[in-house]
Amino acid sequence: MSHTTNPSYVTRLMKERGFSTKKRFGQNFLIDQNIVERIISCANLQAHEWALEIGPGLGALTVHLARQAAHVLAMEIDTSLVAILKDTVAGPKATIWEGDALGANWGELLQEAGWQGQPLKLVANLPYYLTTPLVMKALESDLPFTSMVVMVQKEVATRMLASPGSKDVGVLSFAVQYYATGRLALNVPRTVFLPAPAVDSAVVELTLRPPTIDAPRDALFAVIRAGFGQRRKTLRNSLKPLLEEWGLEPEDLDQAFQKIDLDPQTRAERLSLEDFSALTKELLKGV
Ligand code: SAM
């Protein structure tokens, strides 16, 4: 058993260091070695690969990532945790960086840690208050991630993996579909964390691949975001502000819908990624 998940080690370490968990940073530490091992085995790190971790906490995942990968760069916002990690986990194969992962330039930090473009895997038990922006940042990063294994709130896992037509589908689901093939790797009960969060969790595995969609990325996601901006409205209405921004008229939208054989009265959640791509390309013709 690795000591970092041993509840008595965790409680003793926190007591010795005068550390108490902070709700505002989404601190729920993993205290179940079985779950840690399943996450690590899902990441399947090879000796030449680098791991990027967001929110190492007390290092439950970090120690394993350092053991298996060429190197792990772990980004932690909490100064007191960074002090503990520097004493317990940092080493030739583990760099601890202190700061806000959302605002950080990951490519620069990796290079400073010695990364030279090796394949990357994101492995993290994410702080739940920032899950969506962090997953979006990772997907949009242009870094050579081959996979992402992330623990998220169960509802977010459902949204990440939702299919068109489902009530849970949204921008996050389309971002996942655009960049990756996703699967639910593991359901995780709240009892394996200290303190136990108010929600259940799930581990999602995303296997990155080149996009299969040919509409320009930024325009495509502008259309998807606008479509879901007011998800109860028809697409004809929800896309209005974007049309104005692009200098298009409502008739252009009607024409585009006609061309690709879609009903403008439909709602964003009914469309597939391919529909959004076709719609974007039609609209761009008029810009
Ligand atoms: N990985 C540890 C584990 O599994 O036991 C801790 C996971 S805990 C759910 C989330 C961690 O993210 C905490 O250590 C928290 O301090 C850290 N965190 C919160 N916001 C952050 C941010 N903006 N940037 C980097 N780390 C952050």
**What are the pLDDT digits (tens) for 263-287?**
888 999 999 999 999 999 999 998 8
Quick one: which of 124, 101, 129 has its CA closest to 197?
129
State the average pLDDT for the chain.
Answer: 95
Domain boundary among 156, 179, 208: 208
Closest by CA position to 217, among listed 275, 274, 277: 277
For residues 141 and 173, state if they share a domain. yes
pLDDT at 2: 64
Distance CA 281, CA 137 (A): 24
Residues having CB closer than 6 A to ligand 1 are 25-30, 54-57, 60-61, 75-78, 81, 100-102, 125, 127, 130
Pairwise CA distance, residues 92 & 159, whole Å: 38
HEC states along 200-253? Answer: CEEEEEEEECCCCCCCCHHHHHHHHHHHHHCCCCCHHHHCHHHHHHCCCCHHHH
Is residue 258 pLDDT above 50, yes or no? yes
**Three-state DSSP class for residue 96:** strand
Does 1 score more than 60 pLDDT? Answer: no
Q: Whose CA is nearest to atom 22 of ligand 1?
A: 100
**Over pLDDT 70: what percentage of the chain?**
99
What pTM was computed for the model? 0.95
CATH number of the structural domain spanning residue 187: 3.40.50.150
Say yes or no to pLDDT of 77 above 60: yes
- Ligand 1 centroid to 38 CA: how many Å? 19
Backbone dihedral region of 142: left (phi > 0), alpha (psi from -120 to 50 degrees) or beta? left
End-to-end Cα distance, the chain: 60
Three-state SS for 136? helix
Q: Which domain holds residue 25?
A: 3-208
Residue 245: give its domain's CATH number.
1.10.8.100
What pLDDT, on the 0 to 100 scale, is given for residue 250? 87
Contact of 115 with 50, CB cutoff 8 Å: yes
* Tens digit of each residue's pLDDT (9 = 90 or more) over 6-60: 898 899 999 999 999 999 999 999 999 999 999 999 999 999 999 999 999 999 9
What is the distance in A from the centroid of ligand 1 to the CA of 195?
13
Question: Of 208, 236, 269, which residue is a domain's last?
Answer: 208
pLDDT in tens, 55-75: 999 999 999 999 999 999 999
